[in-house]
A and B are shown apart, each in its own frame.
Chain A
Amino acid sequence: MDGLQVPLDHVLLLAAALFSCGLMGLMLRRNIIFMLMSLEVMLNSAALAFVAAGAAWGQADGQIIFLIILSVAAAEVAVGLSLVLQIQRRFRTLDMDQANRLRG
């Protein structure tokens, strides 16, 4: 089945909007879980932009980059969540504003 012909700027606009949402969530939430979730949103939006670009050119490169982004997201989530577990054990809270021992 063939794909659609959609104006590229619309897709990229969607990606931009998703990115902004993710950024707002990162700045807004204090819970580390939600922050990681916002990161996933931002990664997802970047992936969307790449796939759309690949579709615009009709080449496989966009999907390949998407695959790489996916690997990165997976590794990052794995490590990040294990860090969350450690934070929970040490600080007894998931509030990231409490974890400020690196302040200057």
Chain B
Amino acid sequence: MSALLASGATSFVSDALDKQVQIDAIGLGAIYALMAVGIGLVFGVMRLINFAYGQLIMAGAFALAFASDHGWPVGIGIALCFAVVLVLSLAMERVVFRPLRDQSAAVMLIATFAVAFLLQSIALLWFGPLGKTATSLVQLNRPISLGGVEIRKITIVAIVVAAVCLALLLLLLDRTSIGLHMRAAAMDFSTARLLGVRADLVSTTAVLIAGALAAVVAVMLTVQYPTVTPTYALQDTIIVLAGVVVGGMTRLFSATLGGFFIGYVSGILGGALPSSQSQYLPSFVFGLVILVLLVRPDGLFSRGRGLVERV
């Protein structure tokens, strides 16, 4: 295999530098960055890794498919998507996350595992293994020509939307009192509570923002991959989770960067790997993840002390 890789190295590099591949990779990175923010925000406040995040996106995507099935206008479909994802997020927080707030990270992670499989199996019962198709926004998948490069409109939309969402979030965290409370809770939850930060409010807000981002991601993913199945976005979530840990979970910024980074790298590898090896793309990405974790267990972009688990 190494000989094969060596002979393909030159074409690999030129493929990787191809503008088309670059832009698609940035688009994927933008979507993954949004998912990373959703996961990282909840982790920051509650020290909880939400494995069920992908199933929120799946639920939103099914809402969109449901709307386009019934011939409803795009706006209503998107509204339904947001409503479904937000209600599910709230329910998840109330029923599962809140009672488990004082448990170890492992117990909470396993609990979100259970929620993930619960939602997935409900979707399987409801929509069947073949799923449904969301078609109302498909025209965004058409390419436009920009400086000799064919760019799909959704790629531009994804990059712009991600930038706007991140800017809004930054404003919220930086300029509002609930943002301040969230940052305080992320730094030291119990001390923040002593100083009058309301735990329930902060965690609900974090979960709601994460949910809204999941809905945004659902809209953008269904444009590119209109066939919605019960395992929709599952693979992406696993990769983003890895990316978030690779980036460093201690800070939202490094987690987001990690999400973008892994999306970008997957995009580049996917575009540049020869087709005979593209089926091994997950192996390459996961291999890279292990490598980075071994070199920098606290995260690629983290600084100072590593992750200290709550005692």
- The answer to whether A and B come from one shared complex is no
